[in-house]
Structure 1
Amino acid sequence: MNLQQVVTRLETLADSEKIATKERKFGIKARNSLGIYHKDLKVLAKEIGCDNGLAIELFDTGIYEARILCSKIYDPKCITEEQMNHWVMTFENWEICDSFCMGFFAKSQHSLVKAFEWSGNKHEFIKRAGFVIMAAYGFADKTASNEAFESFFPVIEREVNDERTYVKKAINWTLRNIGKRNVDLNKLAIVVANRILANDSKSAKWIAKNAISELEKPDVSILDYPRLETFARQRAKQSSEKW
């Protein structure tokens, strides 16, 4: 599928009413938007498949939905820091920020470098991008050690006083996701959350209380990364030795 064919498909999916709905219900404001829901872009992305060249062409159209589509068809192994720095500067709402950071930037070899760098940025959605990468990193790298996630804690504590909605929500999301990666990180995340709770700012207290509320639930879903994969390898080895 070439650029013109994809743009034509996007124009076919366009719905001006959805632009208003997305802004009213989800706070998504975007320039050059056609009014296409994320789920429909995912279907189109699956049809197109991985195509780095087309992804760049789509981004360069300036069409909002074309840019989101770019994030879904570009191979994260191929992205450069220069591209990441260029694209993050264009983020204008949480939707496009999260689309790029969750399944794309978080899988890049530059993910942690950018996460730490952007988490201190003054721009709301660049800063959010840093924390969304941290929040998504646990799913992007299921074998990463606990130390990688523990290194996020000082950054979280440093930034908890940011009152901006989309920043504090991303910080909270990061803390909760770390605490659900395995039982050891769950305990550490709760300790960190309780330290944050002693902070005087409203955002810090909200971040901490919300995280503690979820992470201390008796039925909280806690994964077992990377133990789960280690255990699976051990079982496979034992099984092969048995036979």
Structure 2
Amino acid sequence: MPAPSPNWVVDEIIDHLRALGSDENRAGMARFGIVTDRSLGVRNTALRSLARALKRDHERALALWETGWREARLLAVFTDDPKQVTAEQVRRWADGFDSWEIVDSASTLFVEAGHFDLVPAFAADEREFVLRAAFAMMAGAAVHRKNEPDATFIEWLVLIERHANDPRNFVRKAVNWALRQIGKRSTSLHAAALASSRRLAESSDRTARWIGNDAIRELTAARTLARIEVRQAEKGSRKIRR
């Protein structure tokens, strides 16, 4: 089997993926709720390794996405150039979401590309995986957008509380994920997220109570509080150096 190259075109990549895939891998993916109708059965570890060999190429990423194959779409996400990702592309790709795995991987790219301003639009979309993308992007931004002001996340807490009663598994888990990540970002956001969590914990809605109580457990854990203190100290040190 030839070594992957940055010069490979889509057909060469698909042929390589077919050689790597297996029915056993597809069965394993299905057990984790991954859609396998359009899967070649290649593990994520192999895809990550292949992406490093292929390197970034925006036009090729667009073409990979259009094939519809799970592995090709993940490679599209892993190898696209965030600087060239447009809001129109983000919306178009979101229209094709059919699996939590694709959503979470693509959301990382969308945040890196700076398109988390689409969060409110995605949060207003009733489709399960588009709605999940809104909260996956919140979680990603909380971790990776170091200079984003607290006001952005405070606004998102309103959306979190609004959608905390959605019982769909892939939505409720993403809402919970976003709430916890925002609460771990800074001291001020910890207080705001904990207040949101406590309101949800007192809700008459079962899903909202689960989200609130689970977030409270993590946000009040000693290890979480210690990490927030460390982050706050590091943030203060960066300001002094400036």
TM-score (norm 2): 0.91
CA distance in 2, matches of 1:35, 1:63: 10
What one-letter code is carried by the residue in structure 1 that aligns with 2:57? D
CA distance in 2, matches of 1:169, 1:191: 19
> Is the 8 Å Cα contact of residues 181 and 223 (structure 1) preserved in structure 2?
no
Which of 194, 198, 215 lines up with 1:194 in the alignment? 198
> Is the 8 Å Cα contact of residues 168 and 207 (structure 1) preserved in structure 2?
yes
Could you say which residue in structure 2 is the equivalent of 1:148?
A: 152
Q: 1:233, CA displacement in angstroms?
A: 4.7
Q: 1:168, CA displacement in angstroms?
A: 0.4
Could you say which residue in structure 2 is the equivalent of 1:111?
A: 116
CA distance in 1, matches of 2:202, 2:42: 43
Could you say which residue in structure 2 is the equivalent of 1:159?
A: 163
> Is the 8 Å Cα contact of residues 99 and 129 (structure 2) preserved in structure 1?
yes
> Is the 8 Å Cα contact of residues 139 and 177 (structure 2) preserved in structure 1?
yes
Residue deviations 1:32-57 (CA, integer Å, cap 9, x gap): 11011112111111111110111111
Q: Does 1:5 align with 2:9?
A: no
TM-score (norm 1): 0.91
CA distance in 1, matches of 2:232, 2:20: 41
CA distance in 2, matches of 1:57, 1:150: 37
What's the RMSD between the two structures over aligned residues?
1.6
Count of residue correspondences: 233
Q: Does 1:128 align with 2:135?
A: no
CA distance in 2, matches of 1:67, 1:182: 34
1:1-243 correspondence runs (5 A): 1-24=8-31, 26-102=32-108, 104-112=109-117, 114-220=118-224, 221-222=227-228, 228-229=234-235, 231-235=237-241
Q: 1:229, CA displacement in angstroms?
A: 4.4
> Is the 8 Å Cα contact of residues 56 and 79 (structure 2) preserved in structure 1?
yes
CA distance in 2, matches of 1:223, 1:27: 36
CA distance in 1, matches of 2:207, 2:230: 30
What one-letter code is carried by the residue in structure 1 that aligns with 2:112? K
What one-letter code is carried by the residue in structure 2 that aligns with 1:92? D
Residue deviations 1:176-208 (CA, integer Å, cap 9, x gap): 000111122111111111111121111100100
Percent of pairs with identical residues: 33
Instruction: Give unpaired runs (5+ residues) of structure 2.
Output: 1-7
CA distance in 2, matches of 1:6, 1:121: 33
Q: 1:9, CA displacement in angstroms?
A: 1.6
Q: 1:223, CA displacement in angstroms?
A: 6.7
Could you say which residue in structure 1 is the equivalent of 2:4?
A: none
What one-letter code is carried by the residue in structure 2 that aligns with 1:186? H
CA distance in 1, matches of 2:192, 2:90: 31
Q: 1:232, CA displacement in angstroms?
A: 2.4
Aligned to 1:219, the other structure's residue is in SS state helix
What one-letter code is carried by the residue in structure 2 that aligns with 1:218? A
Could you say which residue in structure 2 is the equivalent of 1:240?
A: none
Instruction: Give unpaired runs (5+ residues) of structure 1.
Output: 238-243
